[in-house]
Structure 1
């Protein structure tokens, strides 16, 4: 009687769960998995990355975009260690990812063998489920449990598999388990809804802060906002939940946010936090009554004091609350916020139309806006580029992903690779700074190899720009932020893609127009103004005085004595 080995059973179970691709790099301690994976390439495609970190970041991005399980694999020792950054990104942004790590053979564990690392301990902090496979018969039930945990707990599951285990036949009757998980709708208590209703009926200046927990609840969120006449402020991960130009939208909050959102928060007497555990509490009101809605009750009141907590599914909770309330007839506060937003948008338009050279980064975002389809995928890297995209790209129905909680440089390119695999018929852009792109640029050849026609936009200012600004705000002279970059457009050509170098304003729009028509991966390398600071929407006295100190230091170190008046 023919029996499958554990590696073949593993592939069968992954197929049952709907897994159709795995990011990774082959090697000695997972070669016993690569052969069964090779045999199912018509069902599970192996995407060979050039660095395991990129594989894990791509798996996390795939999960963010689709809600489905992202899967990555690596060898024992160095390969497994490389996975950690991408896995922490998945952990902190709460998306389901499965990591399959190789290990030395079972009888060598504990002998300090070549490439042996204590992977159980290594992955313990990052994982919601972390197990080493001890036998072929154990693997099926543990794999099902790992994937179920990743989905239900919205996190990382790790299986460490010694290299000999996948080769063993599954000889005994294994435990029968199911390759699916059950979802339920959580609803708040009626008494809590009544308390929230009372607060909202007394509110004169309500403001909604919507997080990524509102994704998929656009209509319910807008209906609630219209009922209470409250402006909506979006956290960065929630960008795109409602269109940026919707009359109720005040944009983002914090250092990368808008001035109208800051002002609305300062004036608010009632704050409704929906699907967010916003960390930058200094931007929240000092004395507002607060309602916090979240499906995870442990997040309610975690960082900011609340008066009423509603533990429940976002869409259902917003609908229940809306139905309890009478429509607010006085839109005075909302209209004031809308007037402020119109003034802000006019100011932003002025920055986007600036014709200076070197090109302003805001101008590049405007060119992207013109080139991007309504359903495009935008994978945005970390740094100054985050500010420019948050403020200047007006989302309609596009999808926006970023490393929001870990904020790891280099997430843009692997996110775009995952985006094109998930949505092959959509435009996919990676929007990167030169520092972030250079960290993971090796996998541009992966996009070429698998014929993934993404467009990578590199805002090239030869600086670690955000760190330069942070140093200056502290009153320090800039140090250690200069970058020596290659010509990224030529790099694209060398890799087998197509590169466009943009140094003049008249080259900008033609580069975008050509890139989106290509059937190969492209890089648009735009030389941008290194001195364009990502100034906060509301500048504190400390930031202004720190910047002034920096200017004095710079002038003194250059030997200038004709200091400008402060």
Structure 2
């Protein structure tokens, strides 16, 4: 039988699974496999990043956006350790990611060799599959199994590859596995559907809380909500399932959410959770019936005492309910929610219409909205910028990706890089705070190197702004949140991209116009004021905590920074 290098056989496996990009950094313990990929560069593009965390975050974003497996590669030891933050993001958000991690040669394993770390053990908590290749013959079969497991369990699969394995010769075929796979649709139980229908038909004020599980059921969700006269509140990672200005959409819930969403949850007599396990119990009803729909039975009743649970594919569940429901005549609750939402748009619209300087974040968001293509990908970082984008950016048909469950800062730029590679014909925009962008800013040069025309908007207040606000809301004095200023526009130019530094309202429009017209990676560095991102609904506890903070600040330095009073009062009552 013909022989081939184990590395070549493994590369064929990657091609069979339609892997087109690998994010990583070459190095001594993975170089034999990197050399194989050099020969496959026309089919599998190796994207050289400047830090392995970016490789993992980009792979995670790639998977969230496309549904296809994201792949990252690293040497053993320090390179593998650097991956962990991005991998935990993939684990938390259920994104299929493959890690190809180098390791010392098999003859050196267990001998305390240079850079030797027990990688399979280290990756055990973050992964759904973590194995070390013990022989060249097993390499392609184990790679098949790793990819299949990542897809099947929506998680991270790690294959640790001793450096001698890829160059050993094996029979020119995988022995025990193939790249063929099949995916099941979970069919709901009839009795569970009937139980849910009974609750729905008897409810007077139903509210839908929709998560990422509804992304593949947009039409079914819209029809269901319209039929039963229920407003829809979307979790943050589900932003964009329906356009933000859709008449059924009340926006998000919680710290980043809208006041109408908060009030609808206060008034509902039936909460219908679809494709979400919303973690913030304080923002859910105190005492209301609840139905939960999820493909994972472990999520049913996990965070709220539900009255009925339906395990099944979201689209199938909604299809069945839509067949048996009559359009509700009494739309009074929905209409009241819609009226509240119109008032909310009017209320926050005043923030975006200001033309003053110093700039505030809400003044910037309409310019992002203006230049964003209808099918653009928005990669949003974590911090105050999350609140600004969730609240003020009106999504139409754009994709919105974020680190939602781990909420790691530094995800915005890697997400834009991944987006531009996955969909080169679509616009990719990263929206970051200065703190989050600085965590991985070195990889802006990666976008320059690969000629990725991404736009990075940095909302720069020289603070870790969200932490400052959290300290104040808890009644503490601000501490260790100031950041040394960086001119990100000059940094962009030094990398070979374009950079625009915006200080005044008059500079906003031209800077965004030039960024839109550019075919290079661009950073728009916008200086903004320190206005806190007030919650859509301010609780008494938050108000009391902030009052405590103001008293401490007064006694310390005889000064007080007041939040916008009219806005705060409107959201308190």
With the length of structure 1 as denominator, give the TM-score of the two structures.
0.98
* Secondary structure at the counterpart of residue 414 of structure 2: helix
2:429 is equivalent to residue 407 of structure 1: no
Quickly say closer, same or farther: Cα 1:3–1:461, change in 2 above 3 A. same
* Secondary structure at the counterpart of residue 251 of structure 1: coil
1:268 and 1:288 in contact (8 A); partners too: yes
Determine the structure 2 residue equivalent to 1:14.
Answer: 14
Determine the structure 1 residue equivalent to 2:116.
Answer: 116
State the distance in 2 between where 1:237 and 1:93 align: 9
Determine the structure 1 residue equivalent to 2:105.
Answer: 105
Shift of 1:356: 2.7
Determine the structure 2 residue equivalent to 1:280.
Answer: 280
1:22 and 1:47 in contact (8 A); partners too: yes
2:560 is equivalent to residue 550 of structure 1: no
* Secondary structure at the counterpart of residue 494 of structure 2: helix
Per-residue deviation, residues 89-114 of structure 1 (Å, max 9, x unmatched): 00010011000000111111111111
User: Runs of 5+ in structure 2 lacking a partner?
Assistant: none
Determine the structure 2 residue equivalent to 1:139.
Answer: 139
Quickly say closer, same or farther: Cα 1:173–1:69, change in 2 above 3 A. closer
2:2 and 2:171 in contact (8 A); partners too: no
State the distance in 2 between where 1:560 and 1:21 align: 54
Determine the structure 2 residue equivalent to 1:516.
Answer: 516
Quickly say closer, same or farther: Cα 1:563–1:244, change in 2 above 3 A. closer
Per-residue deviation, residues 37-58 of structure 1 (Å, max 9, x unmatched): 0000000000000000000000
State the distance in 1 between where 2:539 and 2:316 align: 39
State the distance in 1 between where 2:291 and 2:136 align: 50
1:64 and 1:95 in contact (8 A); partners too: yes
State the distance in 2 between where 1:377 and 1:50 align: 23
* Secondary structure at the counterpart of residue 452 of structure 1: coil
Determine the structure 2 residue equivalent to 1:419.
Answer: 419
* Secondary structure at the counterpart of residue 208 of structure 2: strand
2:207 and 2:232 in contact (8 A); partners too: yes
Determine the structure 2 residue equivalent to 1:368.
Answer: 368
Size of the aligned set, in residue pairs, is: 565
Per-residue deviation, residues 41-82 of structure 1 (Å, max 9, x unmatched): 000000000000000000000000000010000001000000
State the distance in 1 between where 2:171 and 2:207 align: 61
Determine the structure 1 residue equivalent to 2:256.
Answer: 256
Quickly say closer, same or farther: Cα 1:326–1:448, change in 2 above 3 A. same
State the distance in 2 between where 1:285 and 1:322 align: 25
State the distance in 1 between where 2:462 and 2:117 align: 38
RMSD: 1.6
Determine the structure 2 residue equivalent to 1:201.
Answer: 201
* Secondary structure at the counterpart of residue 462 of structure 1: coil
State the distance in 1 between where 2:210 and 2:157 align: 28
With the length of structure 2 as denominator, give the TM-score of the two structures.
0.97
1:552 and 1:563 in contact (8 A); partners too: no
Determine the structure 1 residue equivalent to 2:318.
Answer: 318
* Secondary structure at the counterpart of residue 29 of structure 2: helix
2:26 is equivalent to residue 26 of structure 1: yes
Shift of 1:216: 2.0
State the distance in 1 between where 2:173 and 2:401 align: 44
State the distance in 1 between where 2:180 and 2:79 align: 29
Determine the structure 2 residue equivalent to 1:525.
Answer: 525
Q: After the TM superposition, which residues 452-531 of structure 1 pair with which residues of structure 2 at under 5 Å, given as runs?
A: 452-530=452-530
State the distance in 2 between where 1:181 and 1:257 align: 40
1:210 and 1:232 in contact (8 A); partners too: yes
Quickly say closer, same or farther: Cα 1:559–1:282, change in 2 above 3 A. closer
State the distance in 1 between where 2:125 and 2:181 align: 24
1:251 and 1:261 in contact (8 A); partners too: yes
1:381 and 1:403 in contact (8 A); partners too: yes
1:555 and 1:563 in contact (8 A); partners too: no
Determine the structure 2 residue equivalent to 1:190.
Answer: 190
Determine the structure 2 residue equivalent to 1:302.
Answer: 302
* Secondary structure at the counterpart of residue 244 of structure 2: coil
Q: After the TM superposition, which residues 149-168 of structure 1 pair with which residues of structure 2 at under 5 Å, given as runs?
A: 149-168=149-168
2:473 and 2:549 in contact (8 A); partners too: yes
Shift of 1:398: 0.1
Determine the structure 2 residue equivalent to 1:224.
Answer: 224
State the distance in 2 between where 1:290 and 1:324 align: 19
Determine the structure 2 residue equivalent to 1:538.
Answer: 537
Quickly say closer, same or farther: Cα 1:512–1:305, change in 2 above 3 A. same
Quickly say closer, same or farther: Cα 1:209–1:173, change in 2 above 3 A. closer
Per-residue deviation, residues 432-491 of structure 1 (Å, max 9, x unmatched): 000000000000000000000000000000000000000001111100000002100000
2:212 is equivalent to residue 212 of structure 1: yes
Quickly say closer, same or farther: Cα 1:318–1:173, change in 2 above 3 A. closer
* Secondary structure at the counterpart of residue 4 of structure 2: coil
* Secondary structure at the counterpart of residue 18 of structure 1: coil
1:211 and 1:235 in contact (8 A); partners too: yes
Shift of 1:180: 2.5
State the distance in 2 between where 1:562 and 1:351 align: 19
1:52 and 1:82 in contact (8 A); partners too: yes
Per-residue deviation, residues 362-399 of structure 1 (Å, max 9, x unmatched): 11111111111111100000000000000000111000
1:379 and 1:416 in contact (8 A); partners too: yes
2:361 and 2:459 in contact (8 A); partners too: yes
* Secondary structure at the counterpart of residue 136 of structure 1: coil
* Secondary structure at the counterpart of residue 419 of structure 2: helix
* Secondary structure at the counterpart of residue 249 of structure 1: coil
Shift of 1:118: 0.8
* Secondary structure at the counterpart of residue 400 of structure 1: strand
Determine the structure 1 residue equivalent to 2:58.
Answer: 58
